[in-house]
Each structure stands twice: as C-alpha cells, then as structure tokens.
Amino acid sequence: MALRLGSLLAPRARRCASTLAADGSYAVAVDNPYSGETYCEVGYKTSAEALAAVDASAAAQRAWAAETTVEQRVAVCAKFMEAIKADADRIANDISGMMGKPVAHARGEIGGMMERCEMMMALAPKALAPDVLPAKDNFVRTIEKDPVGVVLCIAPWNYPLLTTVNCVVPAVLAGNAVAIKHSPRTPLCADAFERAFLAAGAPEGLVTALHCGHGEVEDVIAREAVGFVSFTGSVRGGREVYGAVAKHRFIDATLELGGKDPAYVAEDADVAAAAAGLVDGAMWNAGQSCCGIERVYVHESNYDEFLAAAKAEVDAFVLGDPAAAATSMGPLALPGAPAFLQGQVDDAVAKGATLLAGGAAGPDASGKGRFFTPTLLGDCDHAMSLMVDESFGPVLGVAKVAGDDDAVELMNDSAYGLSACVFTKDHDRALALSKRVATGTFFQNRCDYLDPALPWTGVKNTGKGVSLSEHGFRGVTRLRNFHAKLDASA
C-alpha cells in the first residue's frame, strides 16, 4: 500500500471519529454540529475494494465514451438534475445534519448547483467539439478532445454540492467516469450524486461514491485508469495530493485551495450597500467559504460610517437550530474551529483591534451547537493573524486606508489570491484596480459569487487549474490530433 496522506484535507476536513473492526475494515461516524449526536456512520473501503471500484468505473467509462454522444450525455445530466430536485429534502437535511448549514440554505445550495449544471450542459457541445484548423491543400487537420478516463473528485464539506458538481458534470459530459471521495464530514453527499445519476439512467459505476481513507486515496491516484484529479480543500492537503500525483503519474490535477479574500470600500462607494454586501459575503455559511470576504479596507472618509453600518448587519444574524426557519447562521462544522477563531480574535484585540461585535465561542441560547458569534473588528492591521491567515469562520477585520495605492498594497499582501472586490461608482476605476490586484476574480460592487460562465481560478496558494466556464472542460479532456493527407501521392 502507498504511503498514507495523513493530513489530506487538513485542517478543514479532519477525519471524524472511526471504529476499527477485527477484519481491518472501519467505519467513520459523523457528529451533528448542533446536537452533538451521531448523524450517520459510513463504512470505508479497503485499498483492494477501492481499487476494484475504480476498475469498475473504468469499464463503465469505456462504454460511456464509445457509445454516447455529447447530446445524449447532456440528456442524462438533465435527468440527473431532476433526480436531485426530487431528492432535495433528503439531501438538504443530510447536509445540515452533517455540517450544520441551515436547512433553508442547503436547499439554496441545490439551486446554485442547478445553475452550474445548466451552464456546463449549454457549453458542452461547443467546448467538446473538435477544433478544425484552416483549410490547407490536400490536408485535413483537427484537434479532438478525448475523455481522460476516470476522474477522481476529492470534495470538501463546506459547499458539498457546489464544489462537487464543478467537477462531476463537466467530466461526465466529456465522456469520463467519476469517483467521488467526499470529505469525511459530508460523506452522504457522494452517495447523493451516485444515486441521482443511477436514477437518471447512467450506467452503474459511471459516478461512484468512493468512501475510503487517505492511504486508499493515494492508491487510487496511482491506478492507471485515473486520468485526472480534482481537489478542493486546504493548502496542505493540496500539496500532498499534488505530490502524490507527481510521485505516481504524469497526469494533471486541479487544486482549489484557500483564500483570504479582500475588499476595498473607496471614497465614492455606496457605503450602506458595501456594508450589506460585504458582511453577507463574510458571514454566509458561517464564514466557511474559500471565497468569503475575510478582510476589508475602507477609505478613511467612509470608515466610521462603514463600521456602524457593518455592525448593524452583523448584529442581525440569528444563531440557532439549523432546522428552524428563523435561523440565519448555523454552527461550525469542525470541532476545533471555535477555539481557532477565538485565538485569532484574542490576538487581534491584544495587538490593538477594537472588538465591535461578537468575539465569543459557545452554544446557542438552548445550550446546543459549536457556534462562534458573528464578529466584527475595527482598527486592524497585518500584524494580526486575523488579517493574513485564513479564518474560515464568521469573523471580519476592517482597516482604514488613505486611498487606492494603500488599498492595493494591502490587498496584495497575502499568500492567497482567489477573489477580491472594490465598491465604487466609477467603473473605469474598478477596471484599473482589477489589473493591479493579484487574484483570480475581481468584482465591482459585489462579492462571493461564482458566475458559472466565468472560469473559477486563483493565484498563489489558492492553487492551480480551472473549473466552470468553457475552460472548465480542459482538465477532464486530453487533446488528440488528427492529421490527414488526402492524396498520398501528392
């Protein structure tokens, strides 16, 4: 067996409690972040079982690629969407029970997933069609886009549907099979994908839930049938996955990793709109988003007004039972998250930050849940961990700047580069700033949204590769040239 990737997905998706049987098999139990009770228990495959599942996927893939057209694959994906919608209540309750997201927000994630499916289905015929080169006497030259085989999708828990669909649907449309290794925090989401594709009429093995441990993941990566790896998770996990790929195979991997996304509120901004948009972008999903806003730089002329407006937005969140309609923020998914956030807040206050709202870990009013109160801090600077290290929770630091140059310098002072934004009424100014900030996506007057028509990518420790848009088919296809001389004697 290969060396174990002991910290794969760390720190965002540490392994949950496991039980070992006498025969060496084991199961992983997932606790409900609100009640503390076990929500589900999932049996994990041995290395031999995981490899057998991949081999079965490879057989299904060969038939899928040979016997279906792009149009037929689009039709199956449309039926997959209908199956997900029919299963929506079960899926939403599972997401909430495993990682704490309010049930209403989990249903909203299903809607976002549909948007991405529809876009990739619409783009597939053009994106996957052969490129025909300009005419040349006596020659025909085309560039074909072949499937890579079995795609290994290693998915995270924070948006367990959205992050997974970014890989699965383009892969299936391109003629691949997909093995989904979901986070041990949200394993039932992999089952939901497998179940829905089977209901849609896809062959057994085309989309497979691959429940296994870190060592088995490396064994799977080494399998010849695997042609591409899609990983979403931590920087540390990304390095280990990329290292495992390089160790065993000459295949590519997309790594969608961390973020410490900044925002700039310029002197001509609509301050009320900026505060509402940025607090939402920072606190949605309890701040557990790689593209969530984690630091804000406000022009000195708007600083006090922004803090007052932002505090009102932060104070409006309702923490509680994720099943309750009134709850707008659920508990944190990981047991260690509240203590980590407390450390960041305490460090910031000790170094001069002003705590304006929140700042405490603990249960809700009923004594349940691992919550961290939505937190706003002013007077922040880059000596504080809160402004440079990924928080992945409902905390937001704000700093005062003198103008565009100061803002750009601080926005770029980061190991990450996923998204960034500016609130300004001047479009030309926003466009000029976008060219100075190192980031994958730059927003004007909005944040924290993936338009599936645009490529999702990043720079620096945010990772490598692309998902979504027409460019999102690149990783799940390989190019093959067809070069024909029509008259051999000419």
Q: Say if strands 375-378 and 354-357 run parallel, antiparallel, or are unpaired.
A: antiparallel
Q: Are 166 and 456 within 8 A, CB to CB?
A: yes
Q: How many CB atoms lie within 10 A of CB 326?
A: 9
**Angle, CA 119 vertex, CA 116 and CA 120 arms, to 5°:** 85
142 residue type, one letter: T
Query: How large is the angle between the packed helices 47-67 and 214-222, nearest 10 degrees?
Result: 40
Q: Which two tokens stand for residue 151?
A: 């795609």
Contact indicator for 301, 267 with CB cutoff of 8 Å: yes
Q: Which residue from 243, 197, 237 is spatially nearest to 80, judged by alpha carbons?
A: 197
DSSP secondary-structure letter at 269? S
The active-site residue out of 256, 313, 390, 470 is 256
Query: Closest by alpha carbon to 349, among 400, 385, 299, 320?
Result: 385
Q: How many residues can be counted in the chain?
A: 490
Peptide bond into 374 cis (omega under 30): no
- Count CA atoms within 13 Å of residue 362 on its CB side: 8
The answer to whether 373 and 363 have CB atoms below 8 angstroms apart is: no
* DSSP per residue, 342-377: HHHHHHHHHTT-EEEE---EE--TTS-S-EE--EEE
Single out the residue of 131, 155, 158 nearest to residue 142, CA to CA.
131
Is 115 among the residues known to form the active site?
A: no
* Of 383, 288, 388, nearest in space to 12 by CA: 288
DSSP string, 95-158: HHHHH---HHHHHHHHHHHHHHHHHHHHHHHHHHSPEEPPPBTTEEEEEEEEE-SEEEEEE-SS
Distance of alpha carbon 81 from alpha carbon 70, whole angstroms: 17
Q: Indicate the SS3 state at residue 477.
A: strand
Bridge pairing between strands 38-44 and 26-31? antiparallel
| Alpha-carbon dihedral angle through residues 211, 214, 218, 220, given to the nearest 10 degrees | -10
| Residues with active-site annotation | 256
